[in-house]
């Protein structure tokens, strides 16, 4: 069975962008692939974060993974930091990605631009190396991500080509799985910007209450055109809401346009808010139960063990290929 892998960083409250971009789809992948889902807690350290916040966010993301339908017995669900093979492979792969390519990554460029006058840790620069290690450590064939992470997966592909050319057929070439309507969910208050954990204005957080969600959707920025049609250039706000509705209902953009061809913006927004709440209310209820249960530690222990069993032989193969001596 092919391996599918993805990770989420516990840096803030998860948004509807994270959910529609990736999380919602994972439950179905579980039936088709051997799945590895993890919380990228080492990546969360690449920007300043308080220890208590990191800890809480990590358990929140873990609980949301399970609430969204991930079965920890079927899939391997774990913390990146609890599987030390990630850090080991990262150290080796540092030497196979180049400073020029890392400095061209758009995430790196936009973060360093924003933090111009602050001290910036090295981890934000080497971020894609660890991400490549995450992927190739399991020989993953498929990596579902939102559009903002596709450049990093492309870099992992370059790395695989480079490594295999030098050492033989050692690593598996990963492919991104991107969902058309939900690859880039935009901010409700500024539809030219991606909805993001670090930019709370215009975000819908998965744990927001129903009233807050409705209020945020009702005040989403739209336009003066007055028609519900998909036109990201002239109607970015409405197009974003169409994308959100289409991915929540698993229908096409044309179907959404048809359903609401005679509706005004107010009516459409009300339906979008209802669709979001219909999806998130049960998710929040499940989340609350799991988050307060004492099963989380044993779920993590099981996940770390299964992940390490898969990763160790692949790491050893890489070590041997580059000439490191492995004691087996
Ligand atoms: P992170 O935590 O920023 O985001 C988790 C996933 O959500 C997607 N996403 C979005 N999709 C659609 N619209 C949005 N507005 C939106 N915002 C976020 C992201 O693309 C991502 O797929 N580097 C990764 C974590 C990671 C990883 C990996 C992923 C670490 N190692 C290996 C895949 C494979 C990240 O920062 O995700």
pLDDT computed for residue 197 by the predictor: 80
What value does the mean pLDDT of the chain take?
96
pLDDT more than 90, % of the chain: 94
Which has the closest alpha carbon to 36: 64, 12, 70?
70
Write the pLDDT tens digit of every residue in 247-282: 999 999 999 999 999 999 999 999 999 999 999 999
Q: Is 133 touching ligand 1 by the criterion CB < 6 Å?
A: no
Q: Which of 9, 10, 62, 145 to mutate to test the pocket of ligand 1 (most atoms within 8 A of CB)?
A: 145
pLDDT computed for residue 199 by the predictor: 67
pLDDT computed for residue 54 by the predictor: 98
pLDDT for residue 201 is more than 80 = no
Q: How many other CB atoms are found less than 10 A from the CB of residue 5?
A: 24
Q: Is 194 touching ligand 1 by the criterion CB < 6 Å?
A: yes
Quote the ligand 1 centre to 39 CA distance (angstroms).
11
Quote the ligand 1 centre to 328 CA distance (angstroms).
35
Q: Is 195 touching ligand 1 by the criterion CB < 6 Å?
A: yes
pLDDT band with cut points at 50, 70 and 90 for residue 328:
confident
pLDDT for residue 200 is more than 80 = no
Question: What does the pLDDT average to over 38-47?
Answer: 97
Return the residue whose CA atom lies nearest to atom 37 of ligand 1.
Answer: 8
Q: Is 181 touching ligand 1 by the criterion CB < 6 Å?
A: no
Which atom of ligand 1 is the closest one to the Cα of 183? 12
Quote the ligand 1 centre to 6 CA distance (angstroms).
8
Helices 51-67 and 296-322, packing angle to 10 deg:
100
Q: Is 7 touching ligand 1 by the criterion CB < 6 Å?
A: yes
Write the pLDDT tens digit of every residue in 112-129: 998 888 889 999 999 999
Q: Is 40 touching ligand 1 by the criterion CB < 6 Å?
A: yes
| Strands in 72-184 per DSSP E | 76-79, 142-144, 175-177
Query: In angstroms, what CA-CA distances link 313 with 94, 105, 137, 163, 319?
Result: 20, 30, 9, 17, 10
Which atom of ligand 1 is the closest one to the Cα of 145? 22
Return the residue whose CA atom lies nearest to atom 18 of ligand 1.
Answer: 18
pLDDT computed for residue 14 by the predictor: 96
| Residue in this structure with the two tokens 């959404």, named with its chain if needed | 256
pLDDT band with cut points at 50, 70 and 90 for residue 189:
very high
Give the DSSP letter string of 32-47.
HSEEEEEE-HHHHTTS
């Amino acid at each position: 069975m092919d391996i599918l892998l993805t990770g989420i960083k516990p840096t803030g409250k998860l948004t509807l962008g994270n959910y529609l971009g990736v999380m919602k789809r994972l439950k179905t992948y579980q039936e088709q692939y051997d799945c590895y889902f993890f919380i990228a807690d080492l990546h969360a350290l690449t920007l300043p974060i308080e220890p208590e916040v990191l800890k809480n966010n990590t358990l929140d993301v873990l609980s949301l993974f399970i609430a969204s339908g991930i079965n920890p017995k079927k899939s391997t669900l774990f913390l990146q930091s609890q599987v030390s093979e990630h850090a080991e492979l990262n150290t080796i792969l540092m030497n196979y990605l180049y400073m020029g390519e890392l400095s061209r990554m758009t995430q790196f460029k936009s973060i360093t631009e924003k933090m111009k006058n602050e001290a910036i840790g090295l981890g934000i620069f080497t971020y894609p190396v660890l991400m490549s290690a995450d992927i190739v450590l399991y020989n993953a064939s498929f990596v579902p991500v939102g559009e903002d992470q596709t450049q990093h997966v492309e870099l992992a592909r370059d790395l695989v080509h480079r490594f295999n050319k030098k050492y033989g057929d050692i690593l598996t070439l990963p492919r991104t799985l991107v969902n058309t309507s939900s690859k880039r969910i935009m901010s409700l208050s500024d539809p030219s910007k991606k909805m993001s954990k670090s930019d709370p204005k215009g975000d819908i957080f998965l744990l927001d209450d129903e009233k807050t969600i409705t209020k945020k959707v009702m005040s989403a920025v739209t336009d003066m055109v007055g028609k519900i049609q998909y036109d990201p250039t002239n109607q970015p706000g409405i197009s974003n809401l169409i994308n959100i509705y289409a991915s929540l209902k698993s229908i096409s953009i044309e179907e959404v346009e048809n359903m609401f061809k005679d509706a005004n913006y107010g009516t459409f927004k009300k339906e979008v808010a209802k669709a979001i709440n219909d999806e998130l209310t049960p998710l929040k209820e499940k989340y609350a139960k799991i988050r307060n249960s004492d099963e989380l530690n044993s779920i993590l222990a099981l996940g770390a063990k299964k992940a390490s069993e898969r990763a160790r032989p692949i790491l050893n193969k890489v070590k041997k290929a580059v000439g490191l001596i492995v004691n087996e």
